[in-house]
Structure 1
Amino acid sequence: MSTHARITASVYTSHVPAIGVAMDQGRTQDPYWQPLFAGYEASRRWMAEHRPDAIVLVYNDHANAFSLDMIPTFALGTAERYDPADEGWGPRAVPPVLGHGELAAHLAQSVIQQDFDLTLVNRMTVDHGLTVPLSLMFGEQPAGAPHWPVPVIPLAVNVVQYPVPSGRRCLQLGQAIRRAVESFDAPLKVQVWGTGGMSHQLQGPRAGLINHAWDQAWMDRLIADPRGLSEMPHLEYVREAGSEGIELVMWLIARGAMSDLADPADVDVPLRAPRVAHRFYHVPASNTAVGHLILENP
């Protein structure tokens, strides 16, 4: 048995803030919301059976931890605890997030030595971009729960203010994270989550844009052709998926962390494609297309 950490799976999901509101207000069985939450029931069962020791959760901050005064492209959380952010109507009534300081410090060291200039964040709050995916995958937490069930290392990506990172750079960062995890000297099971998207636009003449066919084709390529997909220019995301559809480049970080994208020279077993454990797509959720995917390493 290996004494090093390994990435067992990647999880992908939209992080629509209204989903958190629906959960917090007990409206998950309302006719509007029930079909969406039904799509995550299998995911929660899967999570109960495949609970990791740590999660690297890729998300974007929505001007809560970072303002337009300071915009890091990639910011890695290295704290021991992250409280929910006040997004203008008070913090969500969900538990604080516990970090994994030892693994986060190792990721910082390893990924920076692989020539990624990360910003290290020793204190910050986390908004719906991070807490909504946790709610979707773990469900409502008991009143007074001291923290979420699994330690989380936040990785905030700038997809709010241009210029944003390329899909190719995001895929490469995922590959660097995989190498970093696999060099951590403890037998941890780690998942990498990519969040945000799918197609949506929140302002301007195209507000409410949703592109079903493009979303589904994009998920197909994420599974089968991530390298090719990583070359998609930003203009296509904005044109086809709306101004906020650019969040999908964060899914490429999680996809890059999967073992089939390792350098064949670095492994001693044949590289195999990940297994699709669950796939779900739903429209609408507050004028947003919701996409969800779970991939398991073989």
Structure 2
Amino acid sequence: MARITAGVATSHVPAIGAAMDLGKTAEPYWQPVFAGYDWSRQWIAQEKPDVVVLVYNDHASAFDMKIIPTFAIGCADRYGICDEGWGPRPVPDVEGHADLAWHIAQSLILDEFDMTMINEMDVDHGLTVPLSLMFGQPEAWPVKVIPLAVNVVTYPPPSGNRCWMLGEAIARAVESFPEDLNVQVWGTGGMSHQLQGPRAGLINAEWDNRFLDLMSAEDDGALRAIPHIEYLRETGSEGIEMVMWLIMRGALGRKVRPLHRHYHVPASNTAVGHLVLEPVI
């Protein structure tokens, strides 16, 4: 049967993608950001996952105010790269795994999660930047991807507890798929940052690192209990993206083993966080 072997959490700052695309990764400003992913690239080259369930948020590219799904799962064979206003990123199209995606969608809906199923969608930096950070700049991505988009743009986003429960349901779905697949779940977004208003530029390194501690620890309910208002107050209006990390964490089970951790401030006025975790059976 398919199995979830690891979880990855990472920020998906659009400027990180631009730095890679423009060959600026060795510049003094950017080098410390990318150095934190050197270990992860070596690790994932050895792990060779077959499929990544990649949890991200769309930034008004595939969805707008006309349609705002709380949870949407991509069930297509391929996803193009969208134009976010300055042309599509020069990265490969994303290959999906439709069979597993439809199986997960069916399992989640029968598990009482109301998923929106997407059969045609272009993906933005929320999905492509994590792939670039983990795989570099290949001619084709070496893994199939199931996009799972979460609304963290328009109030109300799902609660941390609901996201955790979705992760648990994804784990049940993957484990019931009969094909032998090495599956990873990635949670993206964050960490603390605010892009507008009087608090633009807010970064809360102390809170971020406490969140990383909790992500790496045995589940005692503290992570899933963090309310929306605390994310907004402590990490800025865009810090709410971190609830997407909880989908990944919930999919790994109660206990995890931290393999790698990276935190850097700033990257384009954003705190960058990154974790690699494996479930402890």
Q: Aligned to 1:117, what secondary structure does the other structure show?
A: coil
Q: State the distance in 2 between where 1:175 and 1:10 align.
A: 13
Q: State the distance in 2 between where 1:224 and 1:25 align.
A: 37
| Identity level (%) | 67
Q: State the distance in 2 between where 1:59 and 1:183 align.
A: 24
Q: Deviations over 1:164-194 (max 9, x none)?
A: 0000000000000000000000111100000
Q: Deviations over 1:212-259 (max 9, x none)?
A: 00000011112215422111110000000000000000000000000x
- Counterparts of residues 179-218 of structure 1 (less than 5 Å): 179-218=172-211
- For structure 2, list consecutive stretches of 5 or more residues without a partner in the other structure: none
In the other structure, the counterpart of 1:243 is: 237
Q: State the distance in 2 between where 1:76 and 1:42 align.
A: 29
Tell me if 1:19 matches 2:1: no
Q: Give the partner amino acid of 1:19.
A: I
Tell me if structure 1 keeps the 8 A contact 2:216–2:257: no
Q: Structure 1 length as normaliser, TM-score?
A: 0.92
| Pairwise CA distance, 1:34 | 0.5
| Pairwise CA distance, 1:68 | 1.0
Q: Aligned to 2:61, what secondary structure does the other structure show?
A: coil
Tell me if 1:47 matches 2:44: yes
In the other structure, the counterpart of 1:294 is: 276
Q: Give the partner amino acid of 2:242.
A: L
Residue of 122, 135, 144 corresponding to 1:151 = 144
Q: Deviations over 1:28-49 (max 9, x none)?
A: 0001000111110001000101
- For structure 1, list consecutive stretches of 5 or more residues without a partner in the other structure: 262-272
Q: Give the root-mean-square deviation of aligned CA atoms.
A: 0.8
Q: Aligned to 2:222, what secondary structure does the other structure show?
A: helix
In the other structure, the counterpart of 2:86 is: 89
Q: State the distance in 1 between where 2:90 and 2:244 align.
A: 26
Tell me if structure 1 keeps the 8 A contact 2:3–2:182: yes
Q: Structure 2 length as normaliser, TM-score?
A: 0.98
Q: Give the partner amino acid of 1:99.
A: G
- Counterparts of residues 100-111 of structure 1 (less than 5 Å): 100-111=97-108
Q: State the distance in 1 between where 2:46 and 2:209 align.
A: 27
Q: State the distance in 1 between where 2:223 and 2:274 align.
A: 17
In the other structure, the counterpart of 1:66 is: 63
Please identify runs of 4+ aligned residues in structure 1 that moved more than 2 A.
Answer: none
Tell me if 1:256 matches 2:250: yes
